[in-house]
Amino acid sequence: MKLMEGCWFSVGLEGESVRRVIAGCGPYVVCLVGLVILAEQLSYHWKKGRLPGPQLVVPFLGSAVPMILDPTRFWAEQARRAESSGQGLSADFLVGRFIVFIRSTELSHKVFANVRPDAFHLIGHPFGKKLFGDHNLIYMFDQAHKDLRRRIAPNFTPRALATYAALQQRVILAHLRKWLALSSASASASEPISLRLLCRDMNLETSQTVFAGPYLSREARERFNRDYNLFNVGLMALPFDLPGSAFRRARLAVSRLTLAGAAAASKARMRAGAEPTCLVDFWMQNSLREIAEAEAEAEAADAEEVGGHLFDFLFAAQDASTSSLCWAVALLDAHPEVLARVRDEVAARWSPESGEPIPAEALREMRYTEAVAREVVRLRPPATMVPHIAGEPFPLTEWYTVPKGAIVFPSVYESSFQGFPDPARFDPDRFSDERQEDRVYKRNFLAFGAGPHQCVGQRYAINHLVLFIALFASLLDFKRNRTDGCDDIAYVPTIVPKDDCQVYLSQRCARFPSF
């Protein structure tokens, strides 16, 4: 017993010693933390210079919490500061990173035109490399980037786009049938249905069908859908790469989102002389024309590379297109005179009773419907900002140099409301042959970017929106469930109507087409 008491006494002395050490170190730890915080604040102010922005920032996190809780308000405040200062720029701090928001169209063009190793690096997302990996198309520079875009170009020829249009329409039609059935079954059609997630599912199937065609099994598509959902949630989460976190789940999901098998299968089929039926077929057909037969290892590496770029296309097409489809429905409902003109134009060139998809020639003749699509994209550009990182200090203006490592956010949304007459008005006629505002104010129409990294698939994206508008308006009657704030902007991470676009649907045509 005495031995045990002695042991406890000894332990007590050691515990007391530890407490004294901790108590003695406490002031030094507090001082160290204070110095780190002070250094962070001083660094922020040195980088900010004359730019408007918060005077004090939360240590490490900065404005990350308000940005995630209410991104619409956060980015609107950045734009307000940039405009009110008259400088076209504002500054803030996000998770240890200094950021510069760019409202000025001309300064945005300066960023887009200077994507190179010693200037700006396109990153797509503030923490994109952790999610996308280092070999994404958007991270390429100079000749390697030019060579890849040259290889991609044959995927978007008129012949290829016509092939895709037939595939797109079949998927759209199948989903419109599902939406109509869902709306009819929704509490006996007395409850609206929300289109955002339905559009997203439709776009994911469209992208998989157009880009990878017959080379994805049903099981592979289901796995891809689950992983893509995890990836999308991670885009909006705090970038803490910890076990169980949404960001970690997203990063692991991306590692599984490979389409290398589809590329390899397509290459074998194209080598056998088959006709292209999807995007990867056109890519592989052109690749086989240019390159002599490669060794097995080289072919496997090529399949991995192409598979990775197919995922880039899927990511680029998915949520951006969902955003545009939702806004198209919302804006057509709010402007019945525009909807009537669209329906008349489509009816003059195609009938649901024909039993055939809209021909490529008829699609090209739907000039007003395309103007509607372009005005939707102008008024509500899906990706409102295009993040870049400064690889080196860059003199953005005569009086301000972007510091190395800063993330800059050129706002294509803000540019859409500059230059154009009455820019807040939904007016498809601004894209008519008579007014040609798309040419006069071309520098302000930045929804597809500018410079060397301008979206290579923009013609495909516009075609998809035109086809959706034509089929949706012709086959369905729809009515928006309008509530207070339903048209407010929500970030998911692209922008969508706050209510997820709730509508009532009913069949408009006498008989649904069956192509």
Taking alpha carbons only, the member of 412, 389, 414 closest to residue 402 is 389
Taking alpha carbons only, the member of 145, 88, 91 closest to residue 116 is 145
Other CB atoms within 10 A of residue 395 CB = 10
Helices of type H across 272-411:
279-290, 296-334, 336-347, 360-365, 367-379
First and final CA of the chain: distance in angstroms?
91
Task: In whole angstroms, give the CA distance from residue 124 to residue 138.
Answer: 7
Task: In whole angstroms, give the CA distance from residue 287 to residue 305.
Answer: 13
Per the CB < 8 A criterion, the answer to whether 91 and 47 are in contact is: yes
Task: In whole angstroms, give the CA distance from residue 105 to residue 110.
Answer: 9
Task: In whole angstroms, give the CA distance from residue 7 to residue 13.
Answer: 10
* 455 is an annotated ligand-binding site residue: yes
Task: In whole angstroms, give the CA distance from residue 73 to residue 53.
Answer: 15
**Residue 385 identity (one-letter amino acid):** M
Structure tokens at 126: 């503030």
Strand partners, 411: 385
Structure tokens at 459: 């013609």
**Residue 354 identity (one-letter amino acid):** S
Region of 244 please: left (phi>0), alpha (psi -120 to 50) or beta. left
For 173, list phi and psi in degrees, rounded to 5: -60, -45
Region of 70 please: left (phi>0), alpha (psi -120 to 50) or beta. beta
What's the residue count for the chain?
Answer: 515
Is 471 exposed, middle or buried, given 0-12, 13-18 or 19+ CB atoms closer than 10 A?
Answer: buried
**Residue 353 identity (one-letter amino acid):** E
Task: In whole angstroms, give the CA distance from residue 248 to residue 396.
Answer: 35
Per the CB < 8 A criterion, the answer to whether 280 and 306 are in contact is: yes
Structure tokens at 423: 């820019």
Per the CB < 8 A criterion, the answer to whether 67 and 94 are in contact is: yes
Annotated binding site for heme: 455
Annotated binding site: 455
